[in-house]
Structure 1
């Protein structure tokens, strides 16, 4: 049986406003590995993903690293490759856990550095890493992904006859959006720890620290928007961008209230592990 020919991953589709894809252009990202035209059930896809979670020799870490890089400099190009996956593998969600593994490793490394800056003991460092990986990232991601999965399938599809948004894809969107804030808040911010926390009474300290948080939230909102905007049969995805003015208003309020957000979250981190 012959399958219809799908576009090769060497070309990509550019965005036309908020309505989907229009023109074609070359993508600098490498093609996803392991082409397959088979359409699997959600249960089968989940089982295959979990089965590969500890088979590192089967993961495409090169492609995952490309995604990490482009999430910072051109996140829309990452989602063009999700579109290719839908064409070639009949699913938007990742079938390769390499990106999740890279994210967890990055969380562990940056959390260890964060714990070192905070001066935590070995036992409390392990507890801190556990909280960051399994609560702040994965558990919170399950909640956020479930929320967007329900909202998009209930309110944002053009027609109820259109295919459902996969829960796995909603979780992938969260992971994509989580990576840049992780680097901003758990890595770059550490270089200014003395200013952001130890001198929290200064206006410049509040301005710098709260700006880091504003930048992190802005990345999360924008990458989340791109994740749902790239699906052709979704409408009104621009409403996700309402998070921008809300984040900016909160940013201004924190400065007016002389609230150092970084200082408060460091206290919260310490409270959870003591």
Structure 2
């Protein structure tokens, strides 16, 4: 057993130990990406479904992982692999809807994966990781605990999935029927759908950080809800269809 000093009854990390540990965890995670037989896809599927009707249950498992494996972040990439598959399916659906050529499909897929999901996730996870460890961590935990960057990225992936399904798949069933027309009903339906998708992202993000016992004042993650509501009301008043604008943006970006 490592000899470590105790602070408030908790082990004091050896200098540099956290960095080595994070690097080792990241290496193992990447290595498992190439071993599908070691991934628990059934459990990852349950997590994805739970994010819609009971996201609290998903974060209870994160707490259990901390107790058993000493980390909140996922050590099984099955969720990420399934998320990539859903992004491929959604891109195929958009290609059919927008009549994009075959090469455009790959361009749209690359944008969706590396910009919309991974790129935005890297930025959001890093910003929130800094804010949590600098301002939201409890003083009693500051010397012994910290928020893992990998966990911040997992929270982003959790919050991204329902928004992806709502805006990239669900809305497509109604696009030609309702959303694409310039009527109040179309705007109301499209803007409400956009609001629900964004609200899912904010709420699941809030649940992710409120599940960490080392953080305080996690209600700040709910503050964007007010901005979303203002945006929703302004878009309805101004006759702005957010879902149709999103589809037009995707078409412009690819073409």
**Is the structural similarity TM-score above 0.5?**
yes
Conservation of the 8 A alpha-carbon contact between 2:158 and 2:204: yes
Conservation of the 8 A alpha-carbon contact between 2:180 and 2:186: no
Conservation of the 8 A alpha-carbon contact between 2:121 and 2:156: yes
Is 1:88 equivalent to 2:68 in the alignment?
yes
Superposed displacement of residue 56, structure 1: 0.3
Superposed displacement of residue 187, structure 1: 1.1
Superposed displacement of residue 198, structure 1: 3.2
Matches within 5 A, 1:35-114: 41-114=21-94
Is 1:219 equivalent to 2:200 in the alignment?
yes
Q: What does residue 33 of structure 1 align with?
A: none
Superposed displacement of residue 197, structure 1: 4.7
Is 1:241 equivalent to 2:241 in the alignment?
no
Q: How far apart are the structure 1 equivalents of 2:96 and 2:125?
A: 31
Superposed displacement of residue 266, structure 1: 1.6
Conservation of the 8 A alpha-carbon contact between 2:125 and 2:149: yes
Q: How far apart are the structure 1 equivalents of 2:53 and 2:144?
A: 32
Q: How far apart are the structure 2 equivalents of 1:166 and 1:130?
A: 27
Superposed displacement of residue 273, structure 1: 1.4
Q: What is the DSSP-based 3-state SS (H/G/I as helix, E as strand, rest coil) of the residue aligned with 1:187?
A: helix
Matches within 5 A, 1:62-211: 62-159=42-139, 160-199=142-181, 201-211=182-192
Q: Structure 1: give runs of 5+ residues left out of the alignment.
A: 2-38
Q: What does residue 238 of structure 2 align with?
A: 257
Q: How far apart are the structure 1 equivalents of 2:194 and 2:179?
A: 14
Q: How far apart are the structure 2 equivalents of 1:193 and 1:115?
A: 13
Conservation of the 8 A alpha-carbon contact between 1:149 and 1:165: yes
Conservation of the 8 A alpha-carbon contact between 1:156 and 1:237: yes
Root mean square deviation, CA, Å: 1.3
Q: What is the DSSP-based 3-state SS (H/G/I as helix, E as strand, rest coil) of the residue aligned with 1:183?
A: helix
User: When you count helix as a share of all residues, which structure comes out higher?
Assistant: 2
Conservation of the 8 A alpha-carbon contact between 1:45 and 1:95: yes
Q: How far apart are the structure 2 equivalents of 1:74 and 1:190?
A: 25
Superposed displacement of residue 130, structure 1: 1.2
Q: TM-score, normalised by structure 1?
A: 0.84
Conservation of the 8 A alpha-carbon contact between 1:146 and 1:170: yes
Q: How far apart are the structure 2 equivalents of 1:147 and 1:198?
A: 35
1:49-105 Cα deviation digits (max 9, x unpaired): 001112100101111011011111100010000000000000000000000000000
Superposed displacement of residue 196, structure 1: 4.8
**Hey, which bits of structure 1, 4+ residues long, moved more than 2 A?**
195-198
Q: Structure 2: give runs of 5+ residues left out of the alignment.
A: 2-17
